Structure 1
Amino acid sequence: MDRREFLKSGLLGLALSQAPTLLWRTAAAAPLGEKILVVVQLSGGNDQLNTLIPHRQELYYRLRPRLAVPTREVLDLDGRLGLHPALKPLAPLYEAGRLALIPQVGYPNPSRSHFVSMDIWHTADPERRAHTGWLGRVLDGEQDPLCETHLGTSTPLALTGSQAVAPSVASLEGFELRIQGPLRSLWEEGLSRPRQGEAEAVRQAFLRLKASLAQVGRARGVKNRVGYPSHPFGQALADVARMIAAELPTRVFYVSLGSFDTHADQPNRHEDLLGVLAQGLAAFHQEMRLLGRERDVLVLGFSEFGRRVAENASYGTDHGKAGLMFALGPVRGGILGPEPNLEDLDEGDLKFQTDFRSVYAAALRFLGVDPSAILPGAPAPFPLV
């Protein structure tokens, strides 16, 4: 190999090391009617009882003398349960049948450890034998992979397969390949020349990368039609909406909001987080409606566990077990589960009534994926959509 060939090969390696993580294979843009899943992770353990509030139960107020949301402030839903007032932007969606609330979701033999429980939710394996994520297994199993994107800085386990890893995009504006000056010309020239063996495989990978970056570039040219909260979570949802509007091939998006680990000073922190969540989701749903995609896009939210029923001495709540999931979009709206029984607890925690894997199975079926191939041994799909 002469000096010029060596330089070109080195530039390819340099570019690869500096490129953002991106799917190496491109696909046709997802047309109208293609189903899209947006997963929202509430990191840290969201408190179900102060999100979906049993405001008619005297025991709720007795066990939480300082933290309980006053009845007069609760957004009543059915005479028994109601939303935290910070979730007011979601109330019209609930009334329209676009919001589903699934209380007491969990798994057998629950763990109060952030690490263990999040690992279980990401792999969808309560036995902790799986090493791949539930959505990563979808990516592995497709002939033309289901394109998945994480809006954030580090791809979560849920999107990690044995053969492929979904990309992480911190922001659309910063998502580009940066090669300066003459190095760019050499890189382009190197891509234009067919090679042999491994060098040709590298060249083809970069051609796919270049095509994918061009697709993302289209999304950068799309403007949001509604306003989003000036918070990283709100901006992530805004980017998801732009990518959908640009008809990128992504079928699964993943965003996170945290931290819901409210051991101390819970009321203000929880109110702020729920406010950001509600404002972001309401804006996103409005934009999907304006795009004509409200029946194509399912938003599914979870947290690794709930909080303990009784408040602690630090004006907060400690790690619990069962918690709340929600779904927004083309769903069977309403409260899809029983009111919590505060007289019958699991070591001071809410008992789980719905296995989270059944909700995952419903989301997979919405996407047109066979749940049994991705979630072996899981319960039947939850009647969500």
Structure 2
Amino acid sequence: MDSSTERQCQQLENYVGGDKRMAEITGSRAHHRFSGAQIMKIVNEEKDVWMETERVSLISSFFASLLIGKYAPIDLTDGSGMNLMNIETEKWEQSLLDFIFPGLENKLGELVSPMTSIDTVHSYWTHRFGIPKDCMILPFLGDNPSSLAGLSLLPTDIGISLGTSDTVFFFSPTFKPNTDAHVFSHFAPNSGYMAMICFKNGSLTRERARKMNGSSWEKWNEIMEKTPVGNDGFIGFFFDEDEIVPRKLKGDYTFEMDEKELKEKSPEKFARAVFESQCFFKHLYTQKMGFKKSQSSRILVTGGASRNTVLLQMLSDVFEMSVYTIEVDGSAALGGAMRARYLHSKTPLKYSEYYPCDNVSLACNPIPENVQTYRTLFSTTFKNRFDAFITE
């Protein structure tokens, strides 16, 4: 991952008054890969290239440009992931643009709603591939928001993608910034915001726990049954790579237990601690980001580890919500098609009403005795340990 823009990120945050203020304005603290810092690096280090640059596009808007034969505008959803847009006004934050380069707005172009037609397809595509000349083109979205459109989560749902990195996402009617997460403008009108939290350490850390116990995933239940729910109160934090949520260096933080003794004499205790701490972190940050649970709330899980029944049950017990699995191939491409169909229908229904998320399978429900154990452990030991950990 490109981290060459660290200096520019610091400059941008210092300019607005810190990382918290940047998140309040743009929805995220300054990030290395976001366009604001990347543009600033070109302005600072490759002035000649910058002065010859006519237009700045995102990958999403560039692909839309190819279809309409001219520069396509950046949509509000992707625009909110650049550290350049005021997420509440949904306009470019002029002071940031001017700080990077006076006149930057002219190179960025206008911001448009994701749910509007930007033009019809260029004649090249009609002549070359027979696409009807009146085919409307919508603004393209990035992979994450377009995948959310494809999954069609309900406003009361939490989506969790379990992979090399674990990602938690949900919709929120109100804007609640957090420096450890991202908030984006919603792709559908009058639908609030999209919150996304990415945990860098996911399946690889779980895989390490499996190997340490010499088990297969098919027999993982047997390993978990060697330790009680709640792990006798033991909690650790485990990062195979430098973590971004929270921002901590890689390492196994076992606190009151000797790390070597834990791994050599109690590998099953280590394994449970890995799984439970990952679930607790996800629960904690959904709370921090303002998720409001209701009677109809569900967790929808996708990704490679969504077949791990132990992990799904643990998520259900920690969140106190039913867990469903959802399998959608090519969810980002599907999301684009679903948005196009939704716009073309001219329906008065909200996106979540037009596309009710019902192509799911129930995986598990919370187990009452486990819920009580986790509720107590989370609200006391875990939160206290976490608060002390982040201030070290």
Asked whether the two chains share a fold, i.e. TM above 0.5, the reply is no
| Structure number with higher relative contact order (C-alpha < 8 Å, ≥ 6 residues apart) | 1
